[in-house]
């Protein structure tokens, strides 16, 4: 049975993605009543007044909004390092929670949040991975499921942002967890989505055998002080032998490219091989050219509508959701291990509880500081 009432939802964070979410909530979600928006930065009230319907009440304090706006659900679109506390507060106040990826920058906090959500089964909790809500990825998933590709034994991804002359993500790095955690979580998730990483396991708790990562500061040398890279390569060996490889970057000149190759024994499928903004080609003295999408928000524009519609349906009708908290946790373990491998220069193995075995942070910090001092 489909409910005909609307979900009363409040939004926290009006940054790059939050501003897009706010417009979608206001104008493209027939099953959501957008009741309130919140951001702590100066000037956010003015932005909300100029861009959102008058019925959306602005709050400068997220707790005040969660308690007093009449919302029954909250969308968290703030910087990653703030997610965990806001998710837990929302759940404790009895709100359904949708939160942008990733839950946290570390495995322990992610595990605590997933446990908190599991302790409140009457509340919905969704961390949406954009590619799973994209029509082309859904189409490729059907090819996997109907056997057209044969046995899918490997997935190769590439995700490279357009080079940003302001270097915004350099300062963002301290809050984002680094390129593998921030960007690579989509790739870890999509590898798990296309490959059956749960079959043939001797220990069902341990889905990953080992990961290894490499990285560079090809353009933005300052990233070294955050233990971060502007180009990173990661390899993940799952415990049943499937393999994921990924190239992540922040330095592409023509725009944003996001591509995935699904390697099967009968066929390969490539999604987004040329991340064009439309189907127009220019043929001139330079050859054949197409325009690239400027960013991930443009390439996956429908995903940011589809995932919210799914969340509303899950709360209102109890319909199923595409991503589970377990998916967010498993992807988080992989990318935290990749970031660690890049920082330490060593592979990271996973233990019998399925957790990455990582050197103590103090050792890693010593290495980062040593690097900064030119050692």
Ligand X SMILES: NC(=O)c1ccc[n+]([C@@H]2O[C@H](COP(=O)([O-])OP(=O)(O)OC[C@H]3O[C@@H](n4cnc5c(N)ncnc54)[C@H](O)[C@@H]3O)[C@@H](O)[C@H]2O)c1
Interface residue list for ligand X (CB under 6 A): 12-18, 38-41, 62, 77-80, 82, 100-101, 130, 182, 296
Distance CA 35, CA 52 (A): 11
CB of 176 to ligand X, least distance (A): 6
CB of 174 vs ligand X, minimal distance in Å: 11
Q: Are 140 and 232 in contact (CB under 8 A)?
A: no
The sign of the torsion formed by the CA atoms of 201, 202, 205, 206 equals negative
Q: Which is nearer to ligand X, 294 or 347 (CB)?
A: 294
CB of 220 to ligand X, least distance (A): 17
CB of 135 to ligand X, least distance (A): 16
* C-alpha separations of 317 from 29, 75, 107, 195 in Å: 15, 18, 32, 30
- Min dist CB 1 to ligand X, Å, is 31
Shortest distance (Å) from residue 110 CB to ligand X: 13
Which residue's CB comes closest to ligand X?
15
Nearer to ligand X, 101 or 343 (CB): 101
Phi-psi region of 215 (alpha: psi -120 to 50; beta: other; left: phi over 0): beta
149 or 296: CB nearest ligand X? 296
Strand ranges across the sheet with 73-76: 57-59, 32-38, 7-12, 73-76, 96-99, 125-126
Our CB check for ligand X shows the closer of 182 and 310 to be 182
Least Å distance between CB 65 and ligand X?
9
Nearest approach in angstroms of CB 293 to ligand X is: 13
CA-based nearest residue to 96, from 115, 71, 77 = 71
Note whether 238 and 195 are within 8 A (CB): yes
Looking at beta carbons only, is 137 or 350 nearer to ligand X?
137
Contacts of 371 by beta carbon, 8 Å cutoff, 6+ apart? 224
Verify cis geometry, omega within 30 degrees of 0, for the bond prior to 102. Answer: yes
Decide whether 38 or 239 has the Cβ nearer to ligand X: 38
Fill in the DSSP letter of residue 222: G
Which residues, in sequence order, are CB contacts of 102 under 8 Å at separation 6+? Answer: 80, 83, 110, 127, 177, 181, 182, 185, 328, 331, 332, 335
Return the closest-CA partner of residue 268 out of 348, 154, 127. Answer: 154
Q: Which is nearer to ligand X, 178 or 264 (CB)?
A: 178
CB closer to ligand X out of 100 and 106 = 100
Q: Indicate the SS3 state at residue 14.
A: coil
Shorter beta-carbon distance to ligand X: residue 182 or 327: 182
Shortest Å, Cβ 351 to ligand X:
27
User: What's the rounded Cα separation, in Å, for the pair 153 and 262?
Assistant: 8
């Amino acid at each position: 049975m489909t409910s005909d009432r609307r979900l009363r939802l409040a939004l926290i964070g009006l940054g790059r993605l939050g501003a897009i979410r706010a417009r979608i909530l206001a104008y493209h979600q027939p099953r959501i009543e957008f009741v309130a928006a919140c951001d702590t930065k100066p000037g956010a009230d003015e932005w909300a007044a100029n861009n959102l319907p008058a019925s959306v009440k602005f709050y400068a304090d997220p707790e005040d909004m969660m308690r007093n706006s009449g919302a029954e659900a909250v969308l968290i679109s703030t910087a990653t390092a703030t997610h965990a506390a806001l998710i837990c507060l929302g759940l404790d106040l009895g709100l359904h929670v949708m939160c942008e990826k990733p839950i946290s920058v570390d495995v322990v906090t992610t595990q605590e949040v997933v446990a908190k959500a599991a302790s409140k089964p009457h509340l919905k909790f969704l961390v949406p991975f954009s590619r799973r809500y994209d029509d082309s990825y859904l189409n490729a998933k059907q090819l996997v499921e109907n056997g057209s590709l044969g046995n899918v034994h490997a997935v190769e991804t590439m995700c490279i942002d357009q080079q940003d002359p302001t270097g915004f993500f350099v300062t963002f790095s301290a809050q984002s967890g680094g390129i593998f955690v921030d960007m690579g979580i989509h790739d870890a998730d999509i590898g798990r989505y296309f490959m059956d990483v749960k079959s043939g396991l001797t220990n069902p708790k341990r889905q990953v055998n080992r990961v290894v990562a490499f990285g560079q500061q090809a353009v933005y040398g300052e990233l070294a002080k955050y233990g971060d890279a502007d180009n990173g390569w990661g390899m993940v060996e799952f415990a049943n032998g499937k393999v994921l490889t990924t190239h992540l970057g922040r330095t592409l000149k023509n725009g944003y490219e996001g591509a995935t190759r699904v390697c099967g024994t009968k066929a390969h499928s490539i999604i987004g091989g040329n991340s064009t903004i439309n189907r127009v080609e220019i043929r001139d003295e330079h050859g054949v050219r197409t325009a690239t999408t400027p960013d991930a928000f443009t390439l996956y524009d429908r995903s940011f509508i589809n995932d919210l519609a799914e969340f509303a349906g899950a709360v209102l009708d109890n319909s199923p959701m595409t991503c589970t908290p377990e998916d967010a946790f498993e992807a988080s373990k992989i990318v935290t291990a990749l970031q660690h491998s890049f920082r330490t220069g060593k592979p990271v193995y996973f233990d019998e509880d399925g957790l990455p075995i990582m050197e103590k942070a103090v050792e890693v910090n010593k290495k980062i500081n040593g690097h900064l001092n030119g050692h």
